[in-house]
Structure formats: C-alpha cells, structure tokens
Amino acid sequence: MQQLYDLFLKTGLRPFALMSDMHQLEEKVTRSDLSTLLILHLRGDLTMSELASEMGAPLSSMTSIAKRLERKGYIARATSAQDQRVKLVTLTQQGMNLAKESEQIMLAMLGRLEEAFTPEEMEQFTRLLIKAAKVFQDRGTGKPREAKARPVKIQIEE
C-alpha cells in the first residue's frame, strides 16, 4: 500500500483525480503544490535542496513552488541555524491540514482498491504499476538513448 502511495506521489500519476474531493483540493493548489505539501507531511521539515530532490524538480522550480505556497500560508521558510545559506521548509498548520485532507482522500481510494482486490491481486497490481512507472521513466526501451536537450515549458502561477 505504501509503495502505491509513494508511486502516485512521486510520479505525479493522477488516479486520485477521479475523486470529487480531490477536485476541490486542486482548486486551492496545483498538483505540484499538493505533492510538495504531502512530501513535507511525510518526511518532515526539509531543506530546499532536499525538497527539490524528493520532488525530482530543479531547485529553481522548487523555489517558485515554495514562494507560491508561502504566499498562500501553507509553508514557512526559514534560514537554518546551522548554515545561513540553507533554507528550511516547514508546513504551517494550514498546510498540515491540507496535506492531511489530501492524504485521507488518497488512503480512502487505496482502501477501495484493497477491498476490490485479493491480497495476491493487490501485490500483483502494485508490482505491475511500479514496473509500468519504470518503463515510462526509461522511455520504454530499456536501452540508453542519446539525451537531447529540449526546452521544457513550465506554467508557474504567480
């Protein structure tokens, strides 16, 4: 179950978007924002670099997300006491509440899967989803490809 939760969180898969409760949350924040809040909820306070690594995003993109979440009152950023160059990201109570609400929605949906599948089917389903995610990450060939630099357009809401 935890593997599925992590898979959906880290890869941005959106099976939870099928639930109307999740639509209401996504009206408040973007999927990236929600993933950030969930990661902070699961992992605790993180530095900006650690958070970017967890999200699989460049630090510049993570900084934009963090600024947006800070403006909305979901996170607080503070300078680390150990190193003045490091920014520590913490959930506010409002951010914690939103992360918990999202987590409950996701766990309810995963619970529905557990009810529908036998334990063996659930294990097989999990293995297949993880395998599919790896295929998509590897571009499906299993062979290394030449990396071509392509610009990626990211919409950032101000």
Domains of the chain: residue spans and CATH: 2-137 (1.10.10.10)
- How does residue 142 score in pLDDT terms, banded at 50, 70 and 90? very low
Give which of 62, 60, 59 is closest to 75, Cα–Cα.
Answer: 62
Amino acid code (one letter) for 84: Q
Tokens of 133: 């995610």
Enter the DSSP assignment of 154.
Answer: -
pLDDT tops 80 at residue 91: yes
Task: Return d(Cα 34, Cα 42) in angstroms, integer.
Answer: 12
Tell me the mean pLDDT in the region 26-43. 87
The mean of the pLDDT values for the chain is 80
Tell me the mean pLDDT in the region 9-24. 58
Tokens of 23: 């639509």
